[in-house]
A and B are shown apart, each in its own frame.
Chain A
Amino acid sequence: MHSYFGINVEDIFDSMPDRFRPEGARGITRSFGYDISGIGGWRLSVKEGAMTLEKTDDLESCDVVMETDGETFVGLNIGKIDGMTAFTAGKIKVRGDFNSFAVTSRMFQRYLPPGQAMQKEQELISLKKIISVGQRFATGPVMGKFLKGLKDKKILAIRCPSCGRLQSPPREACAICRVRNDEWVEIGPKGEMRMMEYCYYASPDPLTGETRETPYGAIGILLDGCKDEEVFWHLLRPDQLDRAKMGMVFGEKVVHGSRLRPVWAQNRTGGIFDIKYFELDE
């Protein structure tokens, strides 16, 4: 099989009997030769509104012979290549009367690749919807105290009485020491950027149902008063994604990241987005 534009040269010839339109061939008695270079020859004989097709390399007896290559032949049949242009460019050569090939377009229905005819016709139905589901999040005493702090522009952390680490947002227990956290401290509100993730896929926010614009920067901030892994997660101001620098720790050596400060929302309701985002503290 010799395939161009995803279509076999042989399929175009093989489908000729099915595409033949006797009414288009009325009054025509002629034999056409197709010499497709490197692929082979076909002889199409038309007589009294009927046709016969034969695969043969002997095209000498044909009234008219078209010489071309497989790609041009397929392109002509599916309308990708213009016949006159191809002829002028020397891609098609005709032995005999050039114009006599024009009648072949009347004699055949256009070749359609399998499946294409069907796809063109049908209107497909697709329904787009947004389901909205109401939710209620109970804060509990510890998260509630933290969120109320944000309402007052304070970032609170809770300290483990055993290992001394700070957690913010706070948890009721230290998961490492398995003891109840009890001591509250205020941290920040400024800090240094420790890491950032570029997020290219945003899932809907469970509080608002909205999907934030991408890419956005999810950042870990080491707020003043914290150390090591005690980072606080939030968002970076969207237009500063490429300006903020990450801080790092290589053993003894510490590379400081960009200084950041929180931008507080005007209307604070006791939610995590009482801080809109962090921005560069310049």
Chain B
Amino acid sequence: MRKDFDVSDCYVQEGKLALPYSYFAGRVGSTFITTLRDQRRILGVRCNTCGKVFVPPRQTCERCMEDIRNNWVTLSNTGEVVNYTVVNYDDRHLPRKAPFILALIRPDGADTPMVHILEGIEGDKVQPGLKVKAVFSEKTTHTILDIDHFEPVA
């Protein structure tokens, strides 16, 4: 391959690609969000066949293929850390400045964990099984971030 090009005309154009999108939460997801926002309650759904309680709620049980969209159960605003990671880089899509902790948190009464932000503790002190509670945000964003973060139960 020739490498003796005249590169005097080479330069870089900076661009910016905007991707507009709309995410629809669906009926089940909307109920979850509006209840979180208006009543500060975390909802799950129970499969009446296998008894598993899912959070975030879903329409169909992954194992039984049962329609579970109407089997709402209120979960506790406390729960435990199942696992966690420390985010050490900054990016525009991330909800906090690095470093911060993303944890898999299983609310009491649920069988599955959900991802959320863990605050009020150093990353190297977190242990699976740590008891945490939800701290709701003052302003609503109509998203899962209506829970601002979880923090250890004092």
Q: Which residues of A contact B (CB under 8 A)?
A: 122-142, 144-145, 147-148, 204, 206-211, 269-271
Contact = CB atoms under 8 A, between A and B. Distances in A.
Interface in B19-75: 19-27, 29-31, 33-34
A130 B20 CA distance: 4
B47 to A, nearest CB: 21
B16 A124 contact: no
A104 B109 CA distance: 47
B14 A135 contact: yes
A137 B12 contact: yes
Given A130-B19, A140-B10, 8 more contacts: A130-B18, A131-B18, A131-B21, A132-B19, A137-B15, A141-B7, A144-B10, A211-B18
Contacts of B14: 134-136
B89 interface: no
A122 B25 contact: no
Nearest to A133: B17
A211 B20 CA distance: 10
Given A123-B30, A126-B24, A127-B25, A141 B18 contact: no
Contacts of B26: 124
A56 B11 CA distance: 88
B10 A141 contact: yes
A124 B25 CA distance: 7
Contacts of A132: 16-19, 92
Contact of A208 (B11, B16, B33, B92): B16
17 contacts: A122-B31, A124-B26, A125-B30, A127-B142, A128-B21, A129-B20, A131-B21, A132-B16, A132-B92, A133-B19, A135-B16, A140-B10, A142-B9, A144-B10, A145-B9, A206-B17, A208-B16
A253 to B, nearest CB: 41
Given A130-B18, A134-B15, A122 B27 contact: yes
Top 6 closest pairs, chain A to chain B, by CB = A209-B18, A144-B9, A135-B15, A125-B25, A145-B9, A125-B30
A141 B16 contact: no
A129 B23 CA distance: 8
B2 to A, nearest CB: 9
